[in-house]
Structure 1
Amino acid sequence: MIYKVFYQENPLEVPVRENTKSLYIEASSEREVRFALKDRNYNVEFVQLLEGNHLTYEQANENFIVEKQ
């Protein structure tokens, strides 16, 4: 499954929408995604499962690069 992760690079700052970044990661569960990102010191705001039309839409984005576990 592919997940889209919304995060802030600096965990000590208050989250601001304009500073929110995203990445795509392939994992079997949200828990596995969060475990994989724990060493990066990100402030993870939201982890979203992508499937169906939503996944197709995201794949059309030029920044769609999936990180594998």
Structure 2
Amino acid sequence: MIYKVLYQASKDEVPVREQTETLYLEASDVRDVRKKLADKPYNVEFIQPLTGKFLDYEKKSAEFKLEKI
């Protein structure tokens, strides 16, 4: 399954909505996503599973790039 992860690039700074970044990751479940990102300095805000029409919509975005972690 593909997940959309919204995160801040640094755990040390206060989260600011305008600085939220997005990455797309393939994993078996949300726990697996968190495990894959554990060694990154990210402050994860939200993890959203993408399926069906939601996934099709995100794939049309120029920012859609499946990360390999």
Q: Same fold (TM over 0.5)?
A: yes
- Whole-Å separation in 2 of the counterparts to 1:25 and 1:66: 6
Q: Percent identity?
A: 55
SS at match of 1:12: coil
Could you list the structure 1 runs, at least 4 aligned residues long, displaced by more than 6 angstroms after superposition: none
Equivalent residues, number:
69
Give the TM-score taking structure 1 as reference length.
0.94
Partner of 2:22: 22
Which residue identity does 1:8 align to in structure 2?
Answer: Q
- How far, CA to CA, are the matches of 1:67 and 1:28 in structure 2? 14
**Aligned residue for 2:67?**
67
Which structure 2 residue ranges, 5 or more long, are not aligned? none
Structure 1: gaps spanning 5 or more residues: none
TM-score between both structures, scaled by the size of structure 2: 0.94
- The question of whether the paired residues in 2 share the 8 Å contact of 1:5 and 1:23 is answered with yes
SS of the residue corresponding to residue 22 of structure 2 reads strand
**Cα shift readout 1:6-65 (whole Å, capped 9, x = no counterpart):** 000111111111000000000000000010001111000000000111111000011111
Which letter does structure 2 place at the counterpart of 1:59? K
